[in-house]
A and B are shown apart, each in its own frame.
Chain A
């Protein structure tokens, strides 16, 4: 009986407001090849909110993001965007997405600015007409993420942190209201990590973009995330960080004893 997490979840429901939640997952379950990956996952993300999607590797964070993006059909439950069920294909311009890893070689002839321009209309057919307005838009997006210094370098030759910045610019150039990022801090050095988090926090504040960012370590995000979705053992607990990251809640989620320790403002989740 998942009592504590259930309480947390009901606490998130938000019936009195006129404006619908930007993103709402209701009892999402995912089965892949007969195996249950996720069950009863419910949470909401409101406009401008910075939410961490936290959990150990293999917990189903990427699968959950794919459900939100429409890349993975849930076996149960539904996804609501702005109060209505998400379209079967595409996201309109509502969701920006930064995938976990780019599949490109260093010799791919695509400069950072070309990759960002694909964020404007990369899903369209035909050839784009070069225009000053287009170029300005790309320059502005590159500046917003601090990537203007390598705008003319090939994307494949950039470092991991630089690629992340370029792909964030790619994702936000079409002015989405929700930005999904899949483990953007994985394999980054401490400094790039902090840089990326600062860029995201600024985008969330200045452009009122809600950010849902997956990570296996919540500590680099602690200062910015107001809410957290913790995924473990196929289930999720969601709510304010101090409500969810507690020994009782996570013990119930994992189904075995878990200790949450606070050390100098950092959180350690000790399982097993």
Chain B
């Protein structure tokens, strides 16, 4: 028991902010895991980043007018999703440029809002909270809305799961089967905006995609089916969040004493650690089956290629 005190500071679980952080952190990690797997499958990590940038502006604006930053993240995120849809699908050419200009503008406005906000309220920690999050200052009032949003995003993904997978396999095939590929894409972007906003509350707008993409990327390295991948991603995200909260609470006594290190740092560190661990495990088993169509030599060559990068970072 004496040893445990080095890991778990006394009072961890009796602290109300910590309990709120654990509850919200878990909801956000599960939502991010489920939505994140499809984000990676659909190759939309960049869309997630863009939404996070736009959400920063919303969070800063919410701070300026004095409402919960979550609503700012959410409204800006959904508006950003709508804007991306308008820019993205109609003209493929120039999409990157247009997106880049919009994102630059969004962050510029965010800088202005944060400046104005700190001038009027003299709360210097606010910018940090919006950009890098702070789980220990989540207002208990917003907790029901956070949980409801997470449930909503997961429900959207669950309802659309088959259609999203079919579209990922081949958009033409999905369209030929009568799937409204574009409508489904918009619905998915909204779920992504919700997940990004939730993640922004926990680890900040700038880092929000770390919780979205990191656990999902880890899961895709170990899981073979969509449901298993989402489960692994949710578990990895939850573990990283819990460990992050634990260490952040501990770090109050670390140098410089009395401040506590940012939770986001620990969460992101554990997410990255989880991803690196997948490279340390034994290489995936070769496909032990007779294959009359493929000669043996290229098959072993492939396995070799898989192993080569797998060893280097570990």
Interface residues of A (CB under 8 A from B): 66, 69-71, 89-91, 95, 97, 99, 101-104, 107-111, 114-115, 118, 121-128, 149-150, 152-155, 157, 159, 161-162, 189, 191-192, 195
Contacts and interface: CB of A to CB of B under 8 A. Distances in A.
B159 A122 contact: no
Contacts of A101: 170
B79 interface: no
B287 to A, nearest CB: 6
Given A97-B173, A161-B293, A154 B224 contact: yes
Contacts of B219: 109
B76 interface: no
B82 interface: no
A111 B220 CA distance: 12
B174 A109 contact: no
A115 B108 CA distance: 44
B293 A192 contact: yes
Given A102-B169, A195-B293, A109 B162 contact: no
B165 A118 contact: yes
Given A91-B177, A102-B170, A123-B162, 16 more contacts: A69-B175, A71-B176, A97-B172, A107-B220, A109-B41, A109-B228, A111-B224, A111-B225, A114-B165, A121-B162, A122-B166, A122-B177, A127-B161, A150-B287, A150-B289, A153-B287
Contacts of A115: 169
Of B177, B221, B226, B289, which is in contact with the most chain A CB atoms at under 10 Å from its CB? B177
Interface string B211-232: 0000000011101111011000
A123 B169 contact: no
Contacts of B220: 107-109
* Most chain B beta carbons < 10 A, residue from A97, A109, A124: A109
A186 B212 CA distance: 37
Given A124-B162, A126-B159, A127-B158, A109 B229 contact: yes
B224 A109 contact: yes
A99 B226 contact: no
A123 B161 CA distance: 10
A196 to B, nearest CB: 10
A123 B165 contact: no
A111 B169 CA distance: 11
A233 to B, nearest CB: 25
B8 to A, nearest CB: 35
B46 to A, nearest CB: 15
Tell me the dominant secondary structure on chain B's binding face. Answer: helix
Contacts of B160: 125
A109 B168 contact: no
Nearest to B166: A122
12 contacts: A66-B172, A89-B180, A90-B176, A90-B177, A90-B178, A95-B176, A104-B168, A115-B169, A118-B166, A122-B174, A124-B162, A195-B293
A71 B224 contact: no
Interface in B146-194: 158-163, 165-166, 168-180
B291 interface: yes
A214 to B, nearest CB: 14
A163 to B, nearest CB: 10
Contacts of A128: 162
Contacts of A71: 172, 175-176
A110 B226 contact: yes
A251 B213 CA distance: 56
Contacts of B175: 69, 71
Nearest to B178: A90
A153 B288 CA distance: 11
A110 B165 contact: yes
The 6 A-B pairs at the shortest CB distance, nearest first, are namely A90-B178, A122-B166, A123-B177, A109-B229, A69-B176, A107-B220
Interface string B269-296: 0000000000000000001011111100
B37 interface: yes
